[in-house]
Amino acid sequence: MLAKRIIPCLDVKDGRTVKGINFKELRDAGDPVELGKIYSDQGADELVFLDITATLEKRKTLAALADQVAHNLNIPFTIGGGISSPGDLEALLESGADKVSVNSAAVRNPALIDDLAKLFGSQCIVVAIDAKESGGYWTVHVSGGTKPTTRELFEWAHEAEDRGAGEILFTSMNHDGTKKGFAVQALRKLSEQVSIPVIASGGAGTIEHFVEVFTHGKADAGLAASIFHYGEIPIPGLKSELVSRGIPIRI
């Protein structure tokens, strides 16, 4: 069994790390590069940097952020926000990013995934999916979670994989920032239906939540933000506990 990954996520707005609840009520959490360095030193397996307003405000993720991260960290990192063309991705990879996350632009133009995968390889393409559940149906949202679409979580994930995505980053908008646990049932279904790695996002609040998402949820990686940003769960302690519970983790 491949080792499960612990991935701190840094949502970036106006150059600062922010965190909210259900994609709202954002508050400052620090400098993204400084936080990233701390997590790297603590043993995080990867990092994700998301410019959460890049698409909403019709601008591009700054390649400068990728460059700063690459010069200060020695672990793989994904960067995303406002990426809508091969040129956007190329600029970020050239600046040092290992992988690039696409979300809104891919929903609006699914062929973008095909183009990116053919040019750069599936290994660096992460398709992020923000979805909200109501009545058992998961509706995909775009533009930083502000706009619902006609797409459904599982069928969109299938299509993304078929088009060349290397990973799926699924964020449950219902669980985001609540610290009440991941969307375990949806994650299990998603992990069983696609063959590419699934990164779980939204709802981490305790070590037990990570145990659940790796065992019952079958996720390949667990992503969290506020519990790391505010020192609620140190990464070394989290990893040690997961290993003691029989979950394969890199120490």
Number of helices and strands (H, E) in the chain? 10, 12
The residue ranges of every structural domain in the chain are 5-244
Superfamily of domain 5-244: Aldolase class I (3.20.20.70)
Question: In whole numbers, what is the pLDDT of the chain averaged over residues?
Answer: 90
Mean pLDDT across 4-23: 73
Catalytic residue among 45, 51, 98, 130: 130
Give catalytic status of residue 51 as yes or no.
Answer: no
Q: Which of 43, 82, 42, 85 is nearest to 66 (CA)?
A: 82
What type of residue sits at position 152?
E
Q: What is the dihedral of CA 235, 241, 242, 246, to 10 degrees?
A: 160
Q: What is the dihedral of CA 68, 73, 77, 80, to 10 degrees?
A: -20
Are 155 and 115 in contact by the 8 Å Cβ rule? The answer is no
The per-residue pLDDT for range 110-121, each reduced to its tens digit, is: 999 999 999 999
Give catalytic status of residue 98 as yes or no.
Answer: no
Specify whether the backbone of 64 is left (phi greater than 0), alpha (psi in -120 to 50) or beta: alpha
The per-residue pLDDT for range 76-135, each reduced to its tens digit, is: 999 988 888 999 899 899 999 999 999 999 999 999 999 999 999 999 999 999 999 999
The pTM of this model reads 0.91
Catalytic residue among 11, 88, 98, 176: 11
Are 171 and 129 in contact by the 8 Å Cβ rule? The answer is yes
Residue 206 CB burial class (10 angstroms; 0-12, 13-18, ≥19) = middle
Side-chain half-sphere CA neighbours of 218 within 13 A:
13
